Chain A
């Protein structure tokens, strides 16, 4: 019994070591705080927001920051502070959905390429390289012309453009693992391809991919906000930081406050996630550098 407890203890130690390392890293600490703040403000938007994101107060249009409207109001008299809170919800959920979808698809395709026959590997590599050949924003604009703008289009575009990044890492790792002894032993014991892939290869390829995913979150948030800024992302009246910026840009000569209020949370979030992702990368895998 004692040895079992001891084994459990030994195993538990490194599980929290990364958190301690993160808290020791000043940049990581700052990043974590910023991320937690942003997530909290998005989750608790209903509780914090003083107004509804679509409540109009026409008498108070273009209000400067006051006690009633701490970020001011927009051209329709909507409270910008409430809108940025709900905008955070949109940004974070798009980022979360898109990144987890590309993670799943990327890992699956990457493992298929690495584990499957040579021809499949070459075919998938050609597809990955072709997708990566598109500049992201141009690709997004082309897809939007065809499919029409919506939040799902944004997610789809992000998934398509980020999958190759995950797939390539998963493929390289799978190739390296494919002929290691424990995989060969597992196959000799009669394990099927699916079992080998999902219960033995996945746990070994997932760590660097999770770091890449955490560093992709700010990129995804930028794309969502960028497309919404162009009027090709989230549809009004749903608030997005991009559309707040876009409204603010149209009225930039009337009031600077909308632009300032739309931009600050975006800067805060992208910088926070980047700091966190960089710190995590340094802790887990100093060698992993994001490609391109």
Chain B
């Protein structure tokens, strides 16, 4: 409930920002050469002649019914355009998170088990750097190294659906670029919570029973230590959906980020609004889902709810 309210207020900000700014949206969208009649027509078509409150309520009402307005140039419904692009972005975000899970969790585990060894320190430094370095640099450098110089991976686009594995092949580099930061996050999270769990009584108990160390680490400790990480993954999907914009532009992939970017360039603001709305709602939704998942996975949190 609260998250719905938050999204509504966020949208109010966005709409009022468009309103408060000097200069009218019709003029911005149509450019300086538009005639007054064209501007008037545009204003009526986009509902800009109505008072602000009416516009806001209408916008929210339309959103609830799945209507995000129409594209300024092609007059196609924005919702349809976004629906076409969304699967590409979601695929990218989930694959990026896949990298993070495949690399980050084992790395965090290894460092926790070998705490304070050189391997632990090395992984620590690498994960901090991975978090710090902007994803678009990783994207450009991996494009330069693997696609332009070594030619191991395709350079641009999302691939051809009719060729087998082609789309997956096209996903490898961009998803790695956006996922690398999360590899670092997960490695640190898993390490920290593993260290915490390893000090707890039931692990000491298992040790005292003489269970093999490997079983203790990977079954009893990891099972508990993974919980906060799983909860974080939801936030990860939400963050990566919007973080994908750089990878989509660098690798010229279709997707919501690229769509919004192109719309900003052409000042096509129904698309910008729609894209921002969809990503914001997705972001809020993912955070909500991850809270719920955390609650169902961890009996201790479930009780506190």
A interface residue numbers (CB < 8 A to B):
27, 126-127, 129-131, 133-139, 141-147, 218, 222, 225-226, 229-232, 245, 248-249, 252-253, 256, 259-260, 263, 266-267, 270-271, 273-275, 278, 292
Contacts and interface: CB of A to CB of B under 8 A. Distances in A.
Contacts of B129: 271, 274
B284 interface: yes
Contacts of B257: 137
A138 B133 contact: no
Contact of A135 (B13, B241, B272): B241
Contacts of A253: 148
A135 B283 contact: yes
A126 B6 contact: yes
A126 B5 contact: yes
Given A138-B242, A147-B21, A270-B134, A133 B284 contact: yes
Nearest to A225: B134
Interface residues of B, number: 56
A275 B128 CA distance: 8
B55 interface: no
B148 A256 contact: yes
B20 to A, nearest CB: 9
A267 B181 CA distance: 13
A259 B141 contact: yes
B155 to A, nearest CB: 9
Given A133-B283, A134-B10, A146-B17, A141 B134 contact: no
A245 B136 contact: yes
Interface in B98-119: none
A245 B250 CA distance: 11
B182 interface: no
B137 A245 contact: yes
Interface in B106-161: 125, 128-129, 131-134, 136-137, 140-141, 143-144, 148-149
A259 B18 contact: no
Contact of B136 (A218, A226, A252, A256): A226
A230 B14 CA distance: 21
Contacts of B6: 126, 129-130, 133
A126 B1 CA distance: 13
A284 B268 CA distance: 48
Contacts of B263: 145
B38 interface: no
B128 A278 contact: yes
A133 B287 CA distance: 10
